[in-house]
Amino acid sequence: MAIDFHSRENRSSYSTRAADPTWVKKINDLCDVKGKKVLDIGCGGGIYTKALAMMGASSVTGVDFSRQQLLSAKENCRGYSNIDFRLGDALDTKLENDRFDIVLERAVIHHIKDLTLCANEIYRVLKTGGICIIQDRTPEDCLVEGSKSHIRGYFLEKFPPLIRKETLRRHSSEKVRDALQEAGFKDSKEYKLWEVRKTYNDIEELVRDLMNRTGRSILHELTDRQLEELAVYIKRQNFKPGEPIVEKDRWTIWHAVK
């Protein structure tokens, strides 16, 4: 069953981590956030909204379609006077034209069928010369094999039916770039990023995170029994007792200018 982002039960699933320095460095390489007005579309629990504020943005607006996620985000970002949150979605943010210097859309487009409408909305709210940053996985990113750092690869190895589910919901890089071009963006470029997702003290801590399906929508496609089987499968991957695990995910980032 697909994750229900509107469920109170899943409210905190996307707010328990902090953005890793690998992500912060990549964004800083792509644009200067300091002093800018930034929009975080599909902000979830506010992990990256907070990171952008800490990177020096003058203001960050987080938009999400789930009231429950926004409640979690507000709690997560409590004390940041330069952050505000709005109810809206990637196709209709309900924000005014030409308002933002930078728009981030991280891990959102795989939930969207019409990328052109999505790109049009980003274009509309950006100022002239503003920067669009989209981060998501391509089908190729999803098929990287599992390893001690790329834990996600084990999900598809253990349950091959997830391959079809995972790849069909992802957009090719060509499709994303075509949508950006059609919306009017220029200078579209593509980058790869191995982002550190989280560091665990040992395999047991990782397994607890998996069993809670924390921030992993794909695991909501598995039953509780299948999730237990996955945990056993991952434990068998030659992890040493007490060995720290640095989990990394591979992403594609598209950068374009209005």
pLDDT, residue 238, reads 86
CATH code where residue 253 lies: 3.40.50.150
| Residue 77 lies inside a defined structural domain of this protein | yes
Sheet holding 83-87, edge to edge: 83-87, 59-64, 37-41, 100-106, 126-136, 245-257, 186-200
Tell if the pTM clears 0.75, that is, is over it. Answer: yes
pLDDT, residue 174, reads 96
Domain encompassing residue 207? 8-257
pLDDT, residue 3, reads 44
* pLDDT tens-digit profile, the chain (258 residues): 564 445 455 444 444 568 999 999 999 999 999 999 999 999 999 999 999 999 999 999 999 999 998 999 999 999 999 999 999 999 999 999 999 999 999 999 999 999 999 999 999 999 999 999 999 999 999 999 999 999 999 999 999 999 999 999 999 999 999 999 999 999 899 999 999 999 999 999 999 999 999 888 899 999 999 999 999 999 999 898 899 999 999 999 999 999
Contact of 127 with 101, CB cutoff 8 Å: yes
pLDDT, residue 11, reads 40
Eight-state DSSP code of residue 174: H
Chain segment 109-128, per-residue pLDDT in tens:
999 999 999 999 999 999 99
| Residue 3 lies inside a defined structural domain of this protein | no
pLDDT, residue 215, reads 84
| Residue 157 lies inside a defined structural domain of this protein | yes
pLDDT, residue 166, reads 93
> SS3 string of 106-157?
ECCHHHCCCHHHHHHHHHHHEEEEEEEEEEECCHHHHCCCCCCCCCHHHHHH
**Phi-psi region for residue 127, left (φ > 0), alpha (ψ -120 to 50) or beta?**
beta
pLDDT, residue 5, reads 47
Chain segment 214-241, per-residue pLDDT in tens:
888 899 999 999 999 999 999 999 898 8
Question: How many other C-beta atoms can be found within 10 angstroms of the C-beta atom of residue 234?
Answer: 20
pLDDT, residue 181, reads 97
AA letter at 142: C
**Total domains present in the chain:** 1
Tokens at 216, concatenated:
């992993």
| Residue 2 lies inside a defined structural domain of this protein | no
Tokens at 73, concatenated:
């985000």
